């Protein structure tokens, strides 16, 4: 399928039961779906299960998808629900996994210990947040969903999304301040 | 809303790159003249960068879409519901304790022989509920189900599994008792034949539902002991009443005993109560399973 065909046409093709369209959708958004599932589940294999179940749900739900906003928001909503279901089945909720927290990616040979320490504090501060807060941050800053779309995925009011973002930011600022940093230090 | 407050509320979306071009340009202009907002934006930027860094992508396996499609194809070839129900029933046969089948049949054959030779159809009415209740008490629980762990992790909901086993064992006992009743046809007048069926059907359903419920709480042996005590009490109590004269001395006790006897002789009430109990136990079995989302967040 040519890449210029937009997401809605891909969904329409899935609704017509074109298997190649489901592969195309996964090619476009599989990484982001997997990342969101992993953020909730903390386990690569479980996250893959969640994405697989989500793709099946997309196949089943595509015929009734009628301009319900952006396709990515719909996909992440499905992934979110499937991941929460899996998490409930497992009954153990894992925090952000260090394996997933890749080592610094914007650093280079010039990166010094002070910078490393700064980023360690940021990562630790994010890891201290609740799953709900981390998912909210993930949807807005990583997945690029609008506040309204993020609220739709999480099943909460937009105000809750805003307050979670502010709480996360305040928590980060306090963590940095405790270690003698402030947010402008690396700007 | 003043400009500072308006800009402040837009900073998170600005850092996330979510603002439309015009609003983004307006925020940029505001930032030039507002150190407070610049400081806030720094915090949002650190947060956004931190999130992106911890969410560094791992490539999604292209096999996932193929795996999903394979599952979809298999589901598309799913047999009709009636066939799936039959498959589920058949799959429970080896899981249910084997001795149930032979023991139930043996006891019913003996009961039938006693009833036929002694020309006492009431033997069947006493025996059939006890046989069925014992079988039902052995339906679930770790001591009865060697495949329990598998069942818990299987894709078939536990409610369906319990329902299938219930249908299997209760249906088997219905068949045994029904066949035995048919066999008594030569010694029974046609007009009492319906009474015989109802005479064992109501108590059989009620005792079975109680056995199932009790077996969840106190295990198979305790459940069997309890329901047998209850069943035996319905004819032992009137005898004891005659012996000790309770009704004569305590009229309230007499009324209670009469109501108790009436209950056991009312097949409609017994069937209705057992229906509620069966439904309750099946509902409880489903509750043990995890279900959907959202509340967690």
Residues 6+ apart with CB under 8 A from A9: none
Provide the pLDDT for residue B156.
63
Query: Beta strands of chain A (E only): which ranges?
Result: none
Mutate to test the interface with B, among A115, A137, A146 (most CBs of B within 10 A): A137
Of all residues in chain A, the one with the smallest CA distance to B74 is A56
**Rounded to 5 degrees, what are φ and ψ at A103?**
-60, 165
User: Length of chain B in residues, anyone?
Assistant: 297
Q: How far apart are CA B269 and CA B264, in angstroms?
A: 9
Task: Give every residue of chain A whose pLDDT is below 50, as ranges.
Answer: 1-4, 92-109, 187
Closest approach of B295 to chain A, Cα-based (Å): 9
Backbone angles phi and psi of B53, in degrees to 5? -70, -45
Residues in chain A: 187
Q: What are phi and psi of B79, to 5 degrees?
A: -65, 165
How many angstroms separate the CA atoms of A78 and A61, rounded? 10
Contact A87 B51 (CB under 8 A): no
Please, what is the average pLDDT of chain B? 83
Q: Taking the CA atoms of A149, A153, A158 and A161 in sequence, report the sign of the dihedral they define.
A: negative
Question: What would the two tokens of residue B184 be?
Answer: 């008594």
Mutation site for A-interface testing, chosen from B44, B59, B68, B73 by largest number of A Cβ within 10 Å: B68
Q: Distance from A64 to chain B by nearest Cα, in Å? A: 17
- CA dist A58 and A78 (Å) reads 8
User: CB distance from B43 to chain A under 8 Å?
Assistant: yes
| Identity of the residue in B12, B46, B52 whose CB atom sits nearest the CB atom of A183 | B46
- Per-residue 3-state assignment (H helix, E strand, C coil) for B128-183: HHHHHHHHHHCCCCCCCCCCHHHHHHCCCCHHHHHHHHHHHHHHHHHHHHHHHHHH
CB A29 within 8 A of CB B76: no
Write out chain B residues lying below 8 Å of A59, CB-based: 68-69, 72
Q: What is the ipTM of this complex?
A: 0.72
Q: How far is CA B122 from CA A85, B70, B192, B248, in A?
A: 53, 58, 11, 29
Residues B146-155 have pLDDT tens digits of 555 444 445 5
3-state secondary structure of B228: helix
Taking the CA of residue B205 and the nearest CA in chain A, the distance in Å comes to 34
Identity of the residue in B58, B67, B294 whose CB atom sits nearest the CB atom of A34: B58
pLDDT for res B32? 87
Closest chain A CA to residue B54: A101
Please identify which residue in the block is written with the tokens 């800009």.
Answer: B7
Predicted pLDDT at B225: 93
Query: Which whole number is the average pLDDT over B7-17?
Result: 88
CA R_g for chain A: 18
**A148 closest CA partner among A84, A67, A69:** A69
A177 Cα to chain B: minimum distance (Å): 12
Contact partners, residue A24, CB within 8 Å, separation at least 6: A1, A10, A13
Cα gap B214→B222, rounded to integer Å: 8
Query: Cβ separation of A144 and B39 shorter than 8 Å?
Result: no
Structure token digits, residue B284? 């409880």
Q: Which of B51, B68, B291 sits opposite A137 (nearest CB)?
A: B51
B13 touches chain A (CB under 8 A): yes
Comparing B103-112, B161-170, B247-256, the range with the smallest average pLDDT is B247-256
CA–CA distance, B179 with A111 (Å, rounded to integer): 87
**B76 shares contact with chain A (CB less than 8 Å):** no
DSSP A141: I
**Terminal alpha carbon distance of chain B:** 32
pLDDT digits (tens, 9 = 90+) for B201-220: 999 999 999 999 998 888 88
Report the predicted TM-score, pTM, of the whole model to 2 decimal places.
0.51
Write the pLDDT tens digit of every residue in B20-66.
888 888 988 888 888 888 888 888 988 888 888 777 566 667 788 88
Give the list of residues 6+ apart from residue B148 with CB closer than 8 angstroms, or none.
B141, B142
């Amino acid at each position: 399928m040519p890449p210029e065909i937009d997401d809605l046409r891909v969904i329409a093709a899935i609704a017509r039961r074109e298997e190649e369209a489901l592969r195309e959708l996964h090619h476009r958004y599989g990484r982001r779906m997997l990342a969101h599932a992993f953020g909730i589940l903390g386990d690569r294999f479980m996250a893959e299960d969640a994405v697989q179940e989500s793709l099946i749900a997309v196949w089943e739900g595509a015929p009734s998808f009628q301009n319900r906003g952006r396709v990515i928001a719909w996909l992440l909503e499905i992934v979110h629900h499937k991941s929460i279901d899996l998490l409930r089945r497992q009954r153990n909720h894992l925090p952000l996994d260090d394996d997933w927290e890749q080592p610094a990616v914007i650093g280079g040979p010039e990166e010094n210990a002070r910078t490393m320490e700064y980023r360690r504090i940021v990562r630790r501060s994010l890891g201290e947040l609740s799953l709900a807060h981390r998912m909210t941050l993930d949807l807005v800053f990583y997945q690029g969903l609008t506040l309204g779309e993020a609220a739709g995925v999480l099943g909460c009011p937009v105000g809750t999304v805003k307050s979670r973002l502010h709480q996360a930011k305040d928590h980060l600022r306090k963590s940095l301040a405790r270690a003698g940093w402030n947010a402008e230090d690396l700007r | 809303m003043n400009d500072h407050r308006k800009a402040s509320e837009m900073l998170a979306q600005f850092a996330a790159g979510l603002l439309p071009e015009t609003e983004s340009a307006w925020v940029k202009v505001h930032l030039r003249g507002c150190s407070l907002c610049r400081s806030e934006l720094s915090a949002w930027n650190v947060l956004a960068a931190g999130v992106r860094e911890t969410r560094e992508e791992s490539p999604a396996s292209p096999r996932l879409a193929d795996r999903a499609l394979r599952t979809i194809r298999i589901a598309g070839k799913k047999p009709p519901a009636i066939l799936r129900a039959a498959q589920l029933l058949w799959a429970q046969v080896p899981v249910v304790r084997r001795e149930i089948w032979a023991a139930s049949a043996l006891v019913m054959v003996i009961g039938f022989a006693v009833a036929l030779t002694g020309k006492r159809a009431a033997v069947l009415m006493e025996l059939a509920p006890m046989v069925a209740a014992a079988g039902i008490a052995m339906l679930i629980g770790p001591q009865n189900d060697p495949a329990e762990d598998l069942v818990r992790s299987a894709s078939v909901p536990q409610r369906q599994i319990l329902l299938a086993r219930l249908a299997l064992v209760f249906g088997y006992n219905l068949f045994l008792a029904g066949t035995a009743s048919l066999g008594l046809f030569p010694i029974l007048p046609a007009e009492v034949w319906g009474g015989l069926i109802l005479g064992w059907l109501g108590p059989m359903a009620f005792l079975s539902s109680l056995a199932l419920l009790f077996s969840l709480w106190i295990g198979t042996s305790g459940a069997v002991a309890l329901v047998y005590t209850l069943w035996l009490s319905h004819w032992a109590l009137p005898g004891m009443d005659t012996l000790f004269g309770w009704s004569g001395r305590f009229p309230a006790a007499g009324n209670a005993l009469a109501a108790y006897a009436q209950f056991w002789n009312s097949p409609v009430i017994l069937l209705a109560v057992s229906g509620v109990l069966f439904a309750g136990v099946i509902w409880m079995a489903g509750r043990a399973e995890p279900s959907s989302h959202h509340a967690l967040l």
